[in-house]
Structure 1
Amino acid sequence: MPEPERRRRRPPVSCVLCRQRKIRCNRESPCNNCLRSRSGTCVYENIISQLPQRTAELSLGPPDSAPANKTSSIGTSSTVPSRSPVSSFRATSSTAASTRPGHQAAQDVELLKYRIKQLEEQLSKAESSASLSPVQAMETITSRISGTFYVHYRDSLAGQSSRAILHSTTHKSREFGQSHWVNGLLIIRDIIAAMEPYVREETCRASILMQKSKSLARVIKKRRAPSWPVKPSTHLPPKDVADELVDCYLRTTETVYRILHIPTFKRDYEAHWVSQGEPSTAFLVQLKLVLAIGAATYDDTFSLRAEAMQWVYEALTWLSEPWFKHRLNIQYLQTNLLLLLARELVDVSPDLVWISAGTLLRTAIYMGLHKDPTRLPPNMTTFIVEMRRRLWNTLLELCLQLSLTSGGPPMISLDMFDTEPPSNFDDEQLTTEDPVPRPEDSFTQASLVISLRKTFPTRLAIAKFLNDHDSHITYEETLRLDAELRTSYKMVLRTLQNYRTSAGPWPSKFELDIMGVIMNRHFLSLHIPFYALSLREAAYAFSRKVVVETSLKIWRAIFPLSYNEAVPASSDTTSPDRHDLTRFAICGSGTFRIIPLQASTLIATELRAQLREEDTMGPGLVRQDFLSVMQEAKIASLQSIRAGETSIKGYFLISVITAQIEALMKGLSKEEFPPFLLRAAEDDEFAEETALGILEEMVAQQQQAEGSGEGSEKTQSTTPSQHQDDWDFPVSKESSSPNSAAAKRSW
């Protein structure tokens, strides 16, 4: 007599695959082993117990037949552990056909519905995971001209390569976020790729001249930089020159970055010239940084560049000494903020200023500036309260500015401080007893920074959106931030316009222009990641429109149409026709050198794209305002070299793009492009009378100055010179000053 079939008394709690493999199951859906193995669908035999009560009652039928029916169903499921729900349903139905067809069919339908629900949940989790962790890819770009770049892409929709967004770029030991200028220049990398086969030839004249320019740049930078360390000295320029430098600083930089209390600084400044005693080193260092910043807008050639660099090195030496608690005061913060600005303008490692700003931010937090003075111990005067608020506000603005320039995360958030914005005081009011802030519609020396502070939360969100490591770039978020920034910017513009129509004081042209540049830069940075896509997909047409219009606004704010006619007059330091913002762009380095360069490159890219899109477009149909920007950009790059820029790659870049636009307008074929661009590089960009000739003249002037003993006080720098085989042309300007420097150094 055959032995009766043995049945399991206890229903299994592990999934089918784990039970077959005899491994521990964590009883989740799906379980950990099935997730790890990816070898099948996670199925549980006791799924009926997990169904809703109504489904269980329907499946089990009458109470007297429940055990038999349940056992039959479980046995059927165990024979098909990895089948699809449809095949499981068919197998179950065929097996249960001889028992209770109605109840079993209803049970199988409910099982199938439950399984479909499980699969939908798994698919939803997978899509959510894909959106939170986008697909990443890396592209390597190597060129003899530009070096090696590793471009990291992030695809917001997995599997759609056309939607890939450039996330960051790695070059040497640095990581550049989306707001860094180099990511925007990758749009025109086809020009470099087209010239690469020709440039690699040893007989290529353009390549030879490029290497020669690098060698000259190294010599110029090495001879100019003072030896380290540079002990602070009491040596200052004549008072009339110093007065002009101080005025240059106060009418430009101090209006945007409130650092000094102007009446107190002027009082100490005048006392320094009449004092017979030993001057305060702390004030002397601060004064020299003010002079160094003012030297950038002193004239069109930055004739005091060598002296400005000397002053910056003295401040670096003094601040790098072992310091103690007595230095943690307002003056110490003022000096460090001035040093950040001076390093950017004078070009003393400006690409590393973002790192120094982070250190200063921690110092300010350690001093409690991130807490509003009203929440600190009492007995603070209005002067101290407002100066702490101003310095914290300036530090926030610099950290945000440097985040966009360096492509690094801003490292600040709105919930890390509660310091209120500065009040609407004029500096003279702070010296009186119990001053009352002026009304909001009255313009004061703090009005511009108060207006900028109103837009700070949105601008900070944009910097985080672009440069944070885990930022998830979507076009919907881009449009939301754009709308939010436009709303706050319109309110600021309305306030500034009210100042202009009032009877009292109003902002200067420089203040209005620099406000526009700062705000438009955020619009530009926000939409550049989608500009390349907009050239191929109409869905991003708004970003293309914003990039083009904003670039043109920025360029015209820095280089107005009247600038070229006013250049001879503006060479005079006392001329009322000076363009201070233009001098920042030509003579300085860092932020205000990068912004117009980026704008002109994007305008050139748009002009090139329009020529390619319209085959019938002729010279008469090309936008003349774009063409004029190209010519002005070429002139401005050459003027920057005359003012001390040692890298000619910026001039090379804009010249080659201009040559390509000219080739498109002439209707040259694709094969004729590279030779045409190469001839432009050999015959124009590096001709003896242009960029390369200016560098050779700089070296000759340095040799002449050393031979005459003029540079005897300076020795060769012990600091290693920066590499010149990359594309850091906006931040490599440690070169000699032109002819007028010798006359200025007679003191």
Structure 2
Amino acid sequence: MSEPSYRSESTPPATESGDREDHDDHGDHGDRPPPRKRQRVRLSCLECRRRKLSCDRELPCSRCLQSGTADRCEYETRPGLAPPNKLGLSQSALTGFDSRLSLPGTAGDLLLHRKDAREAERIRRLELEVAQLKGMLAKQISASVDGSTVVDQSPASIEKPETGPELEILLPSCLQVKDPGADKEVRFYRGQEFKNRYFGPHSAFIAFIELTGLCPFMKETSVEWLQPLHVHNKKDRKKRAEDREAKFRQPDPVLEVLLPSKDETDAFVSIYLDQFEQIHRIIHIPSFRRAYAKFWDPAEPRSAASTALILSILGVACCLNSQLPQKFDKMVSNTHSNAVKWIEAVDEWQNRQSQKHRRLIHYQIACLVYLAKKINTIKKKRFWKGAGAMSQDAISVALHRDPTLLNNKMSPFTQEMRRRIWATIQSYDIQAAFDFCLPTIHGTLSYDVEPPRNIDDEEFDEDSEELPPSKPTTEYTFTSYQHLSRQSLPLRLQLSKVLNAGVGELDYDQVIRYTNEINQEIDSLPSWDVNEGGDGEVAKKPLLAYTLLHIELRQYIIPLHQPFLRLRKTHSRYQYSEIIYYNAARDMVLLLDKIGQQGIRTLNFMREDSLTLAINLCSVTMLQPRGSTNMIMINSQHTLQLLEKCLGMKEDRMLRCGNNEPWSYSIMCAAAGLLETHLGTKTAEVAKAAAAERFISLHYKLLACQDPPVSSQQSQLSGGEQQQLGGNSKTTPSRTGTPFQHPPSSLTEMFNRSKSVTPFPSGSQGGGGIPLGSTPGALFGGGTTGQTVEVPGTPWWLPNSGDPSAVSQMQLPCPTEFTLESLGLNLNELWGADQFENWDGSWGGE
């Protein structure tokens, strides 16, 4: 085979004989220089010459095709020769080859040669494209195996040739790369509804999916090799699903026993729907009512999950019933004891459930159980960890991702309920982080889920094909709180991060800036008609959502400005901190008192604002010098009224729940007495007496509600003592053997009783406890004998309180010997000086 030549037809190659003839014609060789030696044309391509490899002298050559460098395959040109065309080189080479052979032919033969040339060119172009695709695919597979990072060379980023569909046939199915843009769903999400799992982008599961061809390869191997050998045992998924469904519908005898009567359950369910579902949207009210009606139908099966849901609702609402007085066992009410039993039973049932096959009702139960624990103050030191665990559980099922991006098969009802459950869990965690001053998991979390729509439950149900559009924020719905709370979420997360980082890193300009941003968020909140009732079965309470939206923003003002209160004495610049601090605490107390006037006790049980706000008001007021004419001291009498409102909220909660926590109430009583001493309205002795009298009177009310009642065994007292203790009073022996006066038979009798005596009557000395004849001031170190104090009575919003002006003058009888041992308390542990020496930051209990 002759080598192809790239010479021009106008310059034929010279021959050796021609050279000799030229030399001979010229005669003498000495007169001319010797002839220049002719250089031979290098026929290998430049790339093969560089790599010192043999070349087949094609365009592109086989070496360049194999190495994936076909675009660099070029040949050397000589001066005077036409440079080869990269795109049409093969055609010109064939043309030159035909002309060199000088084959005679007709016009038809010439057309045949041209057609063959075009076909050869098309074949070579296709071979070049196939070689490029093979090289890119080999690089992608090697990068997936060794984990290296390569530039994105996916088929979507490469210009597809005209023969693309034909090329797919050349690759096996396990090596074909799927276009990632074809699937719009989130790649890290697997499952449907609430039975799913969310994986991060670098998890092992995602690494398996990213390994090109692994899943098809395993599937083909299973079909071709394992099934014929009967090694592959396919699960009967349909039967397993039927078994799970049958197990889910079975009742739980342990939970069934704890259910109260239908009438009592109906009352508690009404309280929950009326006071809690307008804040935390946990259940869908219309669908719940239908399920609740079937729950009491004997012909309908009663699943264990539905029973657990009802018990968790009872645990939330049982202590908020309007009946007073309640029955107590020592310092714990019977309703609180029932709530503890229900919550513990549901907790045990939850721990036995599968973490893989869960439904909406399981997340609803988890949210209700956490809320019930917070209202009843059960294991309060675990609130922050419990809220964080719920957040982690929600993230693992992708509740933080927008449901429209997860699965196209998810119903609109499920999408909206996922948004509501996520908003509830998020509010739990952020508030727990603020209360404990600890970080929140949501501070560093990236989420794209939309807030719940501002719509009522009657506008959609399980069969809805499309959700209604969200209403404007000026129109109140049951979901308005969750919808509007999302607006201030970025600011609250930023403030949580700032406060946890330490206020020492904040300068005063930043504090002012954050305060202004909080006020802007507050000003942007809508003002609804607080008298709006609605036409539904549950009356709308806009004031409840309005109050909580304001409080969850104002609460951040207090810790922001607290470090600068004491700097007021050194620089007048910080006077703004005193005023904004005082105003924030005052406004929150007034908001809570306003909803208390409407009989809404939801926030009083959900939060500990009555304690913290009372301490804050006392702190900022006591920093002012006595006799000062600034705004805080001018409003000192108003501050004392605010403290009375806080004490009234705490008393109401203890009379309904008890929960064996007298620490917070005793601290509030002492703080009020300390402030009165600072203001000069009372001497130190009288203030101490008033604090002790208030504390003791509350526990007398608890003692009057004991179930079973305290024994009415008569004691031998002198006539003078009986007369001094008040007429027909009964006495009961204490654990120390000394009799003490039995309180009135009911709270109404106690509240309506009016008398003017010293808090601790004088008389003979008793064994143990407070000695007779001492004044209240002697309880903490002596005082003047015979002083009388006015004890604030029951707050106006308690039943049977009578005239509010007369309530403040009511006096409660005091025993010959007072001891709280019958209630399981120790005064020295509550009020002793060593109580706070080793204080760990908790208020007692677990």
Which position in structure 1 is the counterpart of 2:677? 663
Deviation at 1:344, TM superposition (A): 0.3
CA contact (8 A) 2:376 2:659 kept: no
Q: Aligned equivalents of 1:730 and 1:702: distance in 2?
A: 32
Q: How does 1:77-156 map to 2 (within 5 A)?
A: none
1:628-679: per-residue Cα shift (whole Å, max 9, x none)? 12333334444443331423333322322332333334489xxx85x66655
SS of the residue corresponding to residue 255 of structure 1 reads coil
Aligned with 1:266 (options 289, 314, 324): 289
Aligned with 1:358 (options 381, 388, 399): 388
Q: How does 1:576-587 map to 2 (within 5 A)?
A: 577-581=598-602, 584-585=603-604
Flag structure 2 segments of 5+ consecutive residues without an equivalent. 1-251, 327-332, 712-828
CA contact (8 A) 1:234 1:284 kept: no
Aligned with 1:337 (options 356, 361, 367): 367
Which position in structure 2 is the counterpart of 1:439? 471
Aligned with 2:338 (options 290, 307, 313): 307
Which position in structure 2 is the counterpart of 1:323? 354
1:453-509: per-residue Cα shift (whole Å, max 9, x none)? 111111111111112479833322222222222222211236x47997999997532
CA contact (8 A) 2:565 2:620 kept: no
- Residues 536 and 243 (structure 1 numbering): CA distance in 2 closer, same or farther, change over 3 Å? farther
Which position in structure 1 is the counterpart of 2:277? 254
Q: Aligned equivalents of 1:580 and 1:691: distance in 2?
A: 19
1:216-235: per-residue Cα shift (whole Å, max 9, x none)? xxxxxxxxxxxxx9943343
Which position in structure 2 is the counterpart of 1:166? none
- Residues 359 and 654 (structure 1 numbering): CA distance in 2 closer, same or farther, change over 3 Å? closer
Q: Aligned equivalents of 1:340 and 1:462: distance in 2?
A: 24
Q: Aligned equivalents of 2:405 and 2:503: distance in 1?
A: 34
Q: Aligned equivalents of 1:503 and 1:319: distance in 2?
A: 37
Q: Aligned equivalents of 1:616 and 1:421: distance in 2?
A: 48
In the alignment, does 2:298 pair up with 1:239? Answer: no
CA contact (8 A) 2:402 2:450 kept: yes
Q: Aligned equivalents of 1:624 and 1:294: distance in 2?
A: 36
Q: What residue identity is the alignment partner of 1:268?
A: A
SS of the residue corresponding to residue 468 of structure 2 reads coil
In the alignment, does 2:481 pair up with 1:448? Answer: yes
In the alignment, does 2:575 pair up with 1:545? Answer: no
Aligned with 1:480 (options 505, 508, 513): 513
Q: How does 1:388-427 map to 2 (within 5 A)?
A: 388-413=418-443, 415-427=445-457
1:355-395: per-residue Cα shift (whole Å, max 9, x none)? 01111111111111121112112111111111111111111
Q: What residue identity is the alignment partner of 1:453?
A: R
1:528-581: per-residue Cα shift (whole Å, max 9, x none)? 343343465422222211221111111111123x96xx6xxxxxxxxxx52334
- Residues 376 and 665 (structure 1 numbering): CA distance in 2 closer, same or farther, change over 3 Å? closer
CA contact (8 A) 1:521 1:595 kept: no
CA contact (8 A) 2:669 2:694 kept: yes
Which position in structure 1 is the counterpart of 2:554? 520
Q: What residue identity is the alignment partner of 2:551?
A: V
Aligned with 2:490 (options 434, 447, 457): 457
SS of the residue corresponding to residue 477 of structure 1 reads helix
Which position in structure 2 is the counterpart of 1:9? none
Q: What residue identity is the alignment partner of 1:411?
A: I
Which position in structure 2 is the counterpart of 1:634? 647
- Residues 294 and 696 (structure 1 numbering): CA distance in 2 closer, same or farther, change over 3 Å? closer
In the alignment, does 2:588 pair up with 1:554? Answer: yes
Of stretches 299-308 and 317-326 in structure 1, the one that deviates more from structure 2 is 299-308
Q: How does 1:535-684 map to 2 (within 5 A)?
A: 537-560=571-594, 577-581=598-602, 584-585=603-604, 588=605, 591-592=606-607, 594-610=608-624, 612-614=625-627, 623-643=636-656, 644-666=658-680, 673=684, 679-680=689-690, 683-684=692-693
Which position in structure 2 is the counterpart of 1:375? 405
CA contact (8 A) 1:249 1:290 kept: yes
Q: What residue identity is the alignment partner of 1:396?
A: Q
- Residues 422 and 638 (structure 1 numbering): CA distance in 2 closer, same or farther, change over 3 Å? closer
Q: Aligned equivalents of 2:336 and 2:353: distance in 1?
A: 29
Is the radius of gyration larger for structure 1 or structure 2? 2
Q: What residue identity is the alignment partner of 2:666?
A: F
- Residues 730 and 265 (structure 1 numbering): CA distance in 2 closer, same or farther, change over 3 Å? farther
Q: Aligned equivalents of 1:451 and 1:617: distance in 2?
A: 37
SS of the residue corresponding to residue 274 of structure 1 reads coil
CA contact (8 A) 1:656 1:680 kept: no
Which position in structure 2 is the counterpart of 1:59? none
Q: Aligned equivalents of 2:407 and 2:370: distance in 1?
A: 30
Which position in structure 2 is the counterpart of 1:279? 302
Q: What residue identity is the alignment partner of 1:484?
A: E
Deviation at 1:349, TM superposition (A): 0.6
Q: Aligned equivalents of 1:498 and 1:579: distance in 2?
A: 13
Aligned with 1:511 (options 545, 554, 575): 545
Q: Aligned equivalents of 1:230 and 1:528: distance in 2?
A: 53
Q: Aligned equivalents of 1:332 and 1:618: distance in 2?
A: 52
Q: Aligned equivalents of 1:294 and 1:362: distance in 2?
A: 27
Q: Aligned equivalents of 2:315 and 2:581: distance in 1?
A: 34
SS of the residue corresponding to residue 326 of structure 1 reads coil
CA contact (8 A) 1:443 1:499 kept: no
Of the two structures, which has the highest relative contact order with CA contacts closer than 8 Å and spacing of 6 or more?
1
Q: Aligned equivalents of 2:710 and 2:323: distance in 1?
A: 23
- Residues 488 and 267 (structure 1 numbering): CA distance in 2 closer, same or farther, change over 3 Å? same
Aligned with 2:321 (options 265, 281, 298): 298
Q: Aligned equivalents of 2:343 and 2:613: distance in 1?
A: 29
Deviation at 1:262, TM superposition (A): 1.2
Deviation at 1:317, TM superposition (A): 1.1
CA contact (8 A) 1:293 1:341 kept: yes
Q: Aligned equivalents of 2:573 and 2:380: distance in 1?
A: 38
CA contact (8 A) 1:370 1:392 kept: yes
Q: How does 1:214-229 map to 2 (within 5 A)?
A: none
- Residues 498 and 322 (structure 1 numbering): CA distance in 2 closer, same or farther, change over 3 Å? closer
CA contact (8 A) 1:424 1:446 kept: yes
Between Structure 1 and Structure 2, which shows a larger proportion of helix residues? 1
SS of the residue corresponding to residue 296 of structure 1 reads helix
Flag structure 1 segments of 5+ consecutive residues without an equivalent. 1-228, 567-576, 705-722, 735-747
Deviation at 1:512, TM superposition (A): 2.1
Q: Aligned equivalents of 1:483 and 1:489: distance in 2?
A: 10
Of stretches 478-487 and 430-439 in structure 1, the one that deviates more from structure 2 is 430-439
- Residues 541 and 695 (structure 1 numbering): CA distance in 2 closer, same or farther, change over 3 Å? same
The count of corresponding residues between Structure 1 and Structure 2 is 458
CA contact (8 A) 1:650 1:729 kept: no
Q: Aligned equivalents of 1:597 and 1:230: distance in 2?
A: 41
Q: What residue identity is the alignment partner of 2:518?
A: L
- Residues 276 and 497 (structure 1 numbering): CA distance in 2 closer, same or farther, change over 3 Å? closer
TM-score, normalised on structure 2? 0.49
- Residues 334 and 618 (structure 1 numbering): CA distance in 2 closer, same or farther, change over 3 Å? closer
